[in-house]
Structure formats: C-alpha cells, structure tokens
Amino acid sequence: MRVLRWSMLAIGGLAIVFGLAACGKSSKKKSAGASKAVSGTSLTIYSSLPLQGASGPQSQAIVNGAKLAVSGVGGKVDKYSIKYSSLDDSTAAAGKADDATVGANARKAVSDSSTIAYLGEYNSGATKISLPILNKASIAQVSPSNTYVGLTTNKPGSEAGEPGKYYPAGTRTYARVVPTDIIQGAAIAAAAKADGCKSLHIWNTQTTYSSGLARNLSAAAKKIGMKVEGNDGIDPKAPNYRSLAASVHSDCFAFTGEIESNGVQAVKDVGTSHPNIKLYGGDGVVTNEFASTSKGLPASVGARFKGTIATLDPAKFAPAGKKFFKDYEKTYRTRNPDPYAIYGFESMALLLDSVKRAAASGTVTRAAVAKALLSTKDRNSVLGTYSIDKNGDTTLTDYGLYKVVRGKLKFDKVIKATK
Amino acid sequence: MEASGATVARRDTTLLARARDLFSRYALILVLALLPLGYAADDLAGGHGLSRIATNLFEGLSNGAIWALIALGYTLVYGIIELINFAHGDVFMIGSFVSFGLWGTLGLTLATGPLGLVGGLLVTLIVAMVVCGTLNTMIERVAYRPLRNAPKLAPLITAVGFSFILENVGQLWLGGSQQGVPDLIHSQSELLNVLGVSVKRADVLALVATPPLVLALTTFISRSRLGKAMRATAQDPEAARLMGINVDTTISVTFLLGGMLAGAAGLIYALYETGIRFDQGFEAGLIAFTAAVMGGIGNLRGAVLGGLIIGCIQQVSDNRIGGEWTPAIVFAYLVLIMVLRPQGLLGEETREAG
C-alpha cells in the first residue's frame, strides 16, 4: 500500500515537473516565433476589413489602395516576395464587423508562419479585439482608419486601463495613419464655431469609436465657448429617431456614429425635424454613400451637413498624392475614389517600408518589423511627410472638412485643429 | 354542514379570483399609464401644457400602427399552428424592397402628380401584398408543412433558417447599407396643427391605411367560410378535419393573409421612414412579436393594441428618457404586463389557452 502511495506521489511529481517544463517551452516558443528570422523568401501581409455591409465600399477602396501599394513595389521588398491576403471581418447577417470574425482573422494571421504584418481594422472597436492577439505575436499592425484615442494613449477620450490592456507583450506593435479623435473632435468643434454655432447637441451610437469621439468633441466644444446641450447614446437598431430629434433644441447638431449604425436615419431625422439646424459628423459617416441622395441624405438635409475626414483635397496633395489618385482612377476606372482609398495605400506602403528597413538593419522578424514601424521618422508619403510617435500615432494633424453638394462629397477646407 | 363548508370555500375562492383579476386589471392600467401620466404631470408643473405628451402619444400611435400590422401576422400564425414564424419580419422587409423596386418601374418620383401618385401607390400596395402573401405561403409549404408532426423545435429552426435566407436575399438585392427611398408623400410635412400637436403626412398615412386593413382582416375571419375554418382549425385541428375542413389549405390561407399584411406594412414603412434596410425585419419582427405577446398571443385585437402601446412607449421613452433606454423600457413593460397578466392584455386565443 505504502509502495503504491509513493509511486502515485512520484508520478504526480513528475507530471507537475514535465507540465511546468512544457509550459516554459511553449512560452519560449512564442517569443522565439516573434524574434525568429523568416525562413524562405515569401512574406504575407493580411488585411482585415468589413467588406460587407455599409462600410463595404470604404473597405473595398482600402483593399484597392493596398493592392496598388504592393504592385507599386513589384510585389517585392528586398529579397522577399510579398503576398497580400485580404480577409473579411464582417458577416452578411450583421452587415458590419463581427467580433468573433475579427478574432478569427487575427488568429489566422498569427498561426501563418509567413505572416509579417497586418493591415486593419477599419473600426476601432474591432481593433480592440485583434490588437492584443497580434501584439502577443509581435505582428506589426497598421490601421487605415482608427481614430479612437484609447488604442494608443490614455489621453482624454480614453477609458480606464487603456491603452496598456491592448499590449500584453509589453511592447508597441500598432500604428495608424489617421490623426486621433482628440484632433478630429477639435476639428468638428472648430468647424461648428466658424459657422456661428452657439450650442451643440451630440448623438453617439455607443460604440468605442462613437462614444470616444463624442467625449472629445464635447470637451473641445466647451473649451471654445460652445454650450453642449446633450451627448446622447442612441439605439443603432431603432427604426427612426423622430421623437428623440424633437428633444434637440440646439442650433447645431453633431452625429459621431458610423454609417452602419443607422447614421443616415439619425441625421435625416434630426435634419427634417429641425429645418434650420446645422448638421455635423465625423469620419464614420463622411462617405460617398452617406452623401448620395439615393442611398444617403435627402438633398434638403445634405445641404446643411458638414463632416470631417483626414483626407484633404486631392488637388492639394503633394506630387506623390496626386500620382496616387491618378493611378487609382486609371487602375480601378473610377472618377471619384472613396476618401479611404489613399489610407489603404499608405497603410500598406508604411508596412512595406517597415519590412524594408527591418531587412536593411539585419534579419527580418516580426518583432524587427514592428520595431521599424514604431521608429518611422519623417516619412515622405502620399499623405505628406509624417512620423509615427512612440505610441503609434501619426504626427499628421490636419483634417479636411467636407460638405455635401448635389449628392456628392465636396472638399470645403482644411481645418488645422490643435491637440 | 359539509355542503355549507364547501359553499363557503367556493365563495372564498371565487372572491379571491375576482380580487386577483381586479388587481391585475387595475394594476395593469396603472402600469401602462405610469409613464405618460408622470410626464404629463411634469409638463403641467413646468407650465408647458400637454402638447408635448400629446405629440409623443400621437406619434406613438402612428408608429405603432405599423407594428400592429406586422404583429397581426405573428398572432395569426401562432394562433393557428402555435409557431413563432421568425421569417415574418423578413417577409415584411421584402415588402419594403418590392415596393421600392416597383416605384422605379412605375416611374414614381417626387415630380409625379397627385393622381399618378395615388394610382401608383395603390398598384404598389396590391403587388407588395400579393408578393409577400405568396412568399409567406411558399415558406409555409416548403419549411413548415413537412414538419407538421415533427417536434416543435424543428419548424422553429426552419423559420430561423428562412429568416436568414431572406435577409441574405435583401442584402444581395440592395446592399448592406440603408437604402434611401424617394420621399413620395413628403412624410415630414405638417398637414395641420391641433392644439400644439403637429400632424404630419407620415402619421396620417399610417393611421389611415392601417384600420381598413385590420377591419378587412377581422371581417374576413369572423364572417367568411374560410375565416370560420381558420378559427375552427385554431381551436382544434383534428376536430376541424373531422368536420370536413381542409386544414392544410386553411393554414396556407392564414400564411397568405399574414404575408399580405406584412407586404402592406412594408410599403407603409418605406413611405414612413423614407429608408429601407436588409435587416429592418429583424428589429421590426422582434417589436411586433412583443406586441403580439403583450396583447395576448392569438388575439387579433390584442396584437393591434400591443402594437399601439409599444409605439407609444417607444416615442415617450425616445423623447423623454433617451433612445438608448427605449428597448430596455419596452421590455420592462412587457415583463410587468406578463407578471400581472400572463395571458396578455386581452387574453390569449390559442389551443393551450382554450
């Protein structure tokens, strides 16, 4: 009996020792994967974007832009051939990014040993899910559209625990090519103030992006002397907002939500309930579809709408930017590229440049590419010259103000908002 | 002695039941009136008069009229085969899409004159009703009839399946984003103002179009042979079959009627909201089903009442409390009503309820 007991104890002890050893080995393997040089000469860059639903056209423009960037370098960086794989993070049923699909896409990229970088997500809320997964594997990630403050800093607009919780590896791997909502919020407030607004009512759709931008806008509006009469979260699934619109009493109204969160209906209902109210929105709604009279705002409401997006007037871009628009129009046979196309191009170009710099400094590993990404300095790009700061934010600060003219977005002016 | 004891006990039970019934009825009225009365008192105390709460309730009634039309489809089907037809909301969505498509074919635009508009919309109404009625009947034939004797879960799953199929069809048809539709009736134009309550064209459309449809349906069910067959089948399908009623045909007619009402609701919704979306049927279906349960499932008048009440709760909540709270408040009302009156406001009319 005593022998049996000692044998059981010995087996148990051995199991614990082997178990601990296996754990140690697996955690070592993870970090080894991040710093291990790529075997072979084929690298994959994944993108994860909502190709279905209301954001589908913008996502497709980003994919087109990214493809143009890859073909611009002949599909090769240094000795490596680049394979671009576009993933869809939305589902047909949801008509927008789906959390489970976002996670599955990120895990797919992590498990592919040829993955070197990741382009995405389109929505800040989706990045909250993919970023920790990719960060653990030290995969460089660039978003063409995220503006939510908390993804990179704990500045106003962020929530408790941000941004640390998105970086379980302890190092930064994420960057974005659009300015944050601190700047966008200030830009919308500045535009409203310039139009003579004295009071502002804000609606948000309770998503990460929307409520964050609403907080930033509210703070910026108060700072420049505007009265904020309300910051209401709306139900994105409501059939209409007419009664809610009746409770808006300000001379100006701002919607910080997304087009896929019933954005058209919300702005339309406020616009029709108050025939003289001035309407504003952020980059979640400044799209060709939102402006279109057939799919978006009726002409009488559209005429009173202005919105911000980081894209500036194509005519005022530097030669590189102008060349992009020319190439894009020629390749995709369109005369009116979506404002997000250039961000898709630049996100991919930034990742390719990071791979190039990592290759130039020695071996190409996931960690080396992420490090190169975060040390981007004075990059001459289609968007102009910018750097990526230590948090992963771009140093670009200008927002373009667009208005709607006869169902089309029309560039109005550049807003130079201070942080 | 024993007999008199039993009589006293029976009287006690009857008194208790009556007291419970009175309590549930009046407590329910109190619950339903809580929100509007509270805000009316608040408005009066603030010296604002009653026009705001009256506007909320009027808009609620017009919004609720659309929910009522959809709720009738749910309650008809549940009443006859005790199935929650999850695809019904999506049939309503197809009604909106068909209407929008037909406006294009008929050339109805903002420039169309009043006569052309009325004629065009009447044609659209008939086509939308026929298409949706046929679609609903086809769904019944393909997905529910073969499962008539299967466990209750089986048709429930096929209903969910058809709901997804129709949503996908809608998405492929008009895309994933909201599709703006021409505001043919200038829905937000004010027709008249009664004591501070603004009466808009959209409200008039919903309130004028719904009652004749409901009346036609109730008359058909109470007066026609097929309607009587429907009621008989709802009460006892086996007995109805023994009496020579073709139960399968009767059930098909029920689906046809439900689908036709969904088609009409689809057209009214498109004109009312001036925007349609592939997933509009999900939310509308949920609200309408809640309305049917609130009014008493299987009860036609109950479905209409439930729809109107939910419309009012939504508008009051949207305007006074905030849109983010509206779904929670609607369902809190449903829970309270179910607790106080499990059979719904006007009582269930199903086989289970007797």
Which of 268-287 (B) contact A at CB < 8 A?
269, 272-275, 278-280, 282-284
Q: Return the structure tokens found at A27.
A: 């955690």
Q: Which of B93, B167, B178 to probe the A interface (max A CBs under 10 A)? A: B178
What is the structure's pLDDT at A7? 47
Phi, psi of A381 (to 5 degrees): -135, 180
Which of 51-110 (B) contact A at CB < 8 A?
55-56, 59-60, 63
Task: Please report which helix (H) or strand (E) contains residue A43, including its range.
Answer: strand A42-49
Does A295 sit within 8 Å of B180, measured CB to CB?
yes
Between the CA atoms of B13, B14, B20 and B24, what dihedral angle is there, to the nearest 10 degrees?
Answer: 150
What is the structure's pLDDT at A32? 43
Q: Return the structure tokens found at B278.
A: 């592939």
Signed CA dihedral, A60, A353, A42, A110: sign only: negative
Contacts with B322 from chain A: Cβ below 8 Å: 232-233, 244
Residue of B nearest to A289 (CA): B177
d(Cα B188, Cα A198) in Å, to the nearest integer?
A: 26
From the list A247, A272, A295, the residue facing B177 with the nearest CB is A295
From the list A96, A247, A272, the residue facing B188 with the nearest CB is A272
What is the structure's pLDDT at B178? 78
Contacts with A273 from chain B: Cβ below 8 Å: 188
Burial B272-305 (b: 16+ CB within 10 A, else e): bbbbbbbbbbbbbbbbbbbbbbbbbbbbbbbbbb
Query: Model confidence at A26, in pLDDT bands (50, 70, 90)?
Result: very low
Does A206 sit within 8 Å of B323, measured CB to CB?
no
Check residues A95 and A113 and name the one with the higher pLDDT: A113
d(Cα A123, Cα A98) in Å, to the nearest integer?
A: 10
The count of CB pairs under 8 A between chains A and B is 107
d(Cα A340, Cα A61) in Å, to the nearest integer?
A: 6
Amino acid at site A416: K
Does B176 sit within 8 Å of A52, measured CB to CB?
yes
Does A262 sit within 8 Å of B177, measured CB to CB?
no
d(Cα A267, Cα A69) in Å, to the nearest integer?
A: 35
The chain-wide mean pLDDT, for chain B, equals 88
Count of residues in chain A: 419
What is the structure's pLDDT at A24? 41
A278 three-state secondary structure? strand
d(Cα A205, Cα A265) in Å, to the nearest integer?
A: 12
Over 70: is that where the pLDDT of A94 sits? yes
What is the structure's pLDDT at A36? 66
Q: Return the structure tokens found at A130.
A: 């993919």
pLDDT in tens, A326-381: 999 999 998 878 888 999 999 999 999 999 999 998 889 999 999 999 999 999 99
d(Cα B237, Cα B244) in Å, to the nearest integer?
A: 11
* Cα-trace Rg, chain A: 23
ipTM of the complex: 0.72
Contacts with A235 from chain B: Cβ below 8 Å: 323-324, 326-327
Query: What is the average per-residue pLDDT within A7-20?
Result: 48
Reduced 3-state DSSP string for B32-80: HHHHHHHHHHHHHHCCCCCHHHHHHHHHHHHHHHHHHHHHHHHHHHHHH
d(Cα A364, Cα A368) in Å, to the nearest integer?
A: 6
Over 50: is that where the pLDDT of A1 sits? no
Q: Which of A211, A244, A305 to probe the B interface (max B CBs under 10 A)? A: A244
Contacts with A291 from chain B: Cβ below 8 Å: none
pLDDT in tens, A30-75: 444 566 667 678 999 999 999 988 788 889 999 999 999 999 999 9
Residue of A nearest to B172 (CA): A92
B276 CB-near residues (< 8 Å, 6+ apart): B93, B96, B97, B100, B174, B178, B179, B181, B269, B270
Check residues B235 and A168 and name the one with the higher pLDDT: A168
What is the structure's pLDDT at B1? 46
B252 CB-near residues (< 8 Å, 6+ apart): B137, B140, B141
Distances in Å between the alpha carbon of A6 and those of A10, A11, A19, B36, B86? Answer: 6, 9, 20, 76, 62
d(Cα B241, Cα B248) in Å, to the nearest integer?
A: 9
Query: What is the average per-residue pLDDT within A159-178?
Result: 95
Nearest residue to A167 (alpha-carbon basis) of A151, A144, A149 = A151
Between the CA atoms of B224, B229, B230 and B233, what dihedral angle is there, to the nearest 10 degrees?
Answer: 170
Other CB atoms closer than 10 Å to residue A108's CB: what's the count?
A: 14
What is the structure's pLDDT at A40? 76
What is the structure's pLDDT at B215? 92
Contacts with A298 from chain B: Cβ below 8 Å: 180, 183, 274
Amino acid at site B62: S
Residues of chain B falling short of pLDDT 50: 1-2, 354
Check residues A260 and A396 and name the one with the higher pLDDT: A396
Contacts with A288 from chain B: Cβ below 8 Å: none
From the list B171, B274, B284, the residue facing A92 with the nearest CB is B171
d(Cα B95, Cα A290) in Å, to the nearest integer?
A: 24
Does A246 sit within 8 Å of B177, measured CB to CB?
no
DSSP assignment of A294-347, as one string? TTS--HHHHTTEEEEES---GGGS-HHHHHHHHHHHHHHT-SS--TTHHHHHHH
Interface of A with B (CB under 8 A): 52-54, 56, 92-93, 95-96, 206, 232-235, 237-244, 246-247, 259-260, 262, 264-265, 268, 272-273, 289, 292-298
What is the structure's pLDDT at A318? 84
Does A241 sit within 8 Å of B320, measured CB to CB?
no
Between the CA atoms of A306, A308, A314 and A320, what dihedral angle is there, to the nearest 10 degrees?
Answer: 180
Q: Return the structure tokens found at A214.
A: 């609403």
Residue of B nearest to A296 (CA): B180
What is the structure's pLDDT at A243? 86
Note whether B206 and B65 are within 8 A (CB): yes
Note whether B92 and B266 are within 8 A (CB): yes
Q: Inform me whether the C-beta atom of residue B112 falls under 8 Å from chain A C-beta atoms.
A: no
Note whether A18 and A89 are within 8 A (CB): no
Query: What is the average per-residue pLDDT within A240-248?
Result: 89
Tokens 């993804």, residue? A151
What is the structure's pLDDT at B176? 75
Maximal C-alpha separation, chain B:
86
On the 0-12 / 13-18 / 19+ scale of CB atoms within 10 A, A13 is: exposed
Does B59 sit within 8 Å of A242, measured CB to CB?
yes
From the list B56, B178, B283, the residue facing A243 with the nearest CB is B56
Task: Please report which helix (H) or strand (E) contains residue A398, including its range.
Answer: strand A398-405
pTM: 0.77
Contacts with B189 from chain A: Cβ below 8 Å: none
Nearest residue to A57 (alpha-carbon basis) of A109, A94, A83, A96 = A96
Amino acid at site A274: H
